[in-house]
Structure 1
Amino acid sequence: MVNWTQMHDCCGDVDRVPELLEQVEREDDAEAWRELGYRLVLEHDLIFPASLAALPRLTRLARRSARARGLAGTILRRAAGHHGRDDLLEGCADSIAEFRALLDRHLQSRPVDYHPAFLDALAAREEYHWGAVLGDFSDDFYHLACPHCAVEVTIAIGDHGRYSAIRDWDLGDVDRRGLRPASSGELSGTGRWMHETALRDGREALADGIAHLFGKAECPDCASVFNIADEYASANRPVLR
C-alpha cells in the first residue's frame, strides 16, 4: 500500500495524483490524463516520488490504455535522474517486469509508435542511456573519445553514411573511416536483444543500424580499432541516485 502523504508530485502536492489515478481508472478522461502527465513528468527530464509510486497502477492500466503505456514508459526512461527515491524504483520490480512483457507484445504487433515503445522497452531493461539516445538511424551521430588516444571521434550511422570521422566545424566530418558492423553471432547482451527484436518485428533498418552501433570503428587519428557501443555506454551510462 502506497503512503501517498510522502509522495509529492511536481507541484509539491500529495493528494492530487491518487485522485487523478482513480479518475482515469474509471474513465479515459483526456483532461485528467493531461494533468496527470504534467504532475508526474515535468519538462527537463524530471520525475518525482509520486511518479514512481504511480508506476504499478499505470502498468495495470497500460494493458488497455495507450496513454498509460506512454506515461509509464516516459517515467521509466527518466528513472536514472535525480528523483531521490531509488527505494521506490526497487519496489516496482514486479511491475516493471510486467511492463517489459506488455511492451514486448506491443512491439510484436508492429505499431505506429514502434520506436518510442522500443525505447521504453530499453528503459524497462535498465538500459537508460540507450533509451535516451537511440535514434532510428536515419540521421544518428554519437560522439565519444577514442580509448587509445582520447581524440573526439564522431560516429555517423544513417542515410548519410556509416563511418567514424573527426568533426571539423568548418569542413564537416573529415578523414572518414567505414564502420565494421557486428555479425549476428558476435552480438551479445543488450545488443543481441535489440538486434533480434528489431529483426523479429520486421525493422530491418533499425536492425542494421544496431549492428553498426555494436560493431567496431577505426579512430581517424591513431588508427586504433574499438567497439563503439562499449565506449559510448561506459562514458554515458547513468548512475541511479
Structure 2
Amino acid sequence: MQWTQLYDCYGDVDRVPELLARAGREDEAEVWDELGYRLILEGDMVFPASFAALPCLVSLASRSARARGLAGAIVRCAAGGHGCDDLLAGCAGAIAEFRSLLHRHLRSRPDDYLAPFRDLIAAEGHYHWSAVLGDFSDDFYQVACPHCAVEVTIAIGGYGRYSAIRDWNLGDVDRRDLRPASPEGLSGTGRWMHETAVRDGEVVLADGIAHLFGRAECPRCASVFSIADEYASSHRPLM
C-alpha cells in the first residue's frame, strides 16, 4: 500500500500505517482511540486513509472487537460525499469478507447485536437503513403523507406502534395503529433484514422491522401508505 497520497483526518500520510502495524501486534486502547479519530471525523466523515486501512482492519476483526467496530464505522460512512469512490471500489473483497465475518458474529447472538447488525446492513450496501435503524424501544420516524402531504409521526416502540399527528403541546394525537407486514409479505431489504433478525432470535428487532416495512394510515386523510417507501424517499442521502 502506497500511503503518500492517502491522508487522514489531520492530513498526515504516515501515522495511520504506523498505528495499524502496532494494532496488529498489540491491543492497546490508545492505539485504537487514535486510529478512530484519525480515520473518522465527527462520526460520519471519512478520508482516503480510512478506506486504505479497511482491509487491514477486516483482517484483524475476527480477533479484535475494536477492529470490527472501526471497520463497521468506516463502512457505514461509505455512502457518497467522501470523494474516495475508487478506493471504496478497491475494498470490495475486504467488504465481502467483512460481511461473512459479521454473519458469523451475529449468529453467536452478541449482547450488542444492533451495532454489528447495522454494520452488516451497510456492508450489504443499504447505507440508509444502517444509519436510521434503532432498537425499536423508543423509535420515531417522520414521514410526509403521499396523498395530503401532512407530516405524520410513526412510533415503533415502548410508547406503541402507531401513526399520529404530532402536536408540540398535546403530544401525538389522532393515533392510528400501524399495519405490520407479514413475513411472507416482505420483500427486498425489509425481508432480508427481518429474516436475519429472526434467524438470530432477535424477536423485538424482527417485530420492529415488520412494522417499519408495513403500512400506516394518515390521521388527516385516512389514506394508507408504505412507511418504509415514504421514509426512504424523503430521507435517503444523496449518493
TM-score by length of 2: 0.97
Moved >6 Å (runs of 4+): none
Quote how far apart the aligned CAs of 1:237 are. Answer: 1.9
User: Which amino acid letter does the alignment assign opposite residue 190 of structure 1?
Assistant: T
Quote how far apart the aligned CAs of 1:79 are. Answer: 1.4
| Pairing 1:221–2:224 present | no
Alignment partners' CA distance in 1, 2:110 and 2:6: 34
| Pairing 1:76–2:36 present | no
| Pairing 1:178–2:195 present | no
Alignment partners' CA distance in 2, 1:91 and 1:147: 39
Aligned to 2:238: 239
Aligned to 2:134: 135
Aligned to 2:198: 199
Work out whether residues 47 and 81 of structure 1, in 8 Å CA contact, stay in contact via their aligned partners in 2: no
Aligned to 2:160: 161
User: Which amino acid letter does the alignment assign opposite residue 143 of structure 1?
Assistant: Q
| Pairing 1:6–2:27 present | no
User: Which amino acid letter does the alignment assign opposite residue 180 of structure 1?
Assistant: R
1:25-56 per-residue CA deviation (whole Å, 9 max, x = no partner) reads 12212211111111001215211111111111
Quote how far apart the aligned CAs of 1:82 are. Answer: 2.7
Quote how far apart the aligned CAs of 1:222 are. Answer: 1.1
What secondary structure sits across from 2:164 in the alignment? strand
| Pairing 1:26–2:30 present | no
User: Which amino acid letter does the alignment assign opposite residue 138 of structure 1?
Assistant: S
1:194-218 per-residue CA deviation (whole Å, 9 max, x = no partner) reads 1111111111111111100000001
User: Which amino acid letter does the alignment assign opposite residue 87 of structure 1?
Assistant: D
Aligned to 1:110: 109
Alignment partners' CA distance in 1, 2:228 and 2:100: 25
Question: 5+ unaligned residues in a row in structure 1: which ranges?
Answer: none
Aligned to 1:209: 208
Alignment partners' CA distance in 1, 2:237 and 2:97: 23
Quote how far apart the aligned CAs of 1:176 are. Answer: 0.6
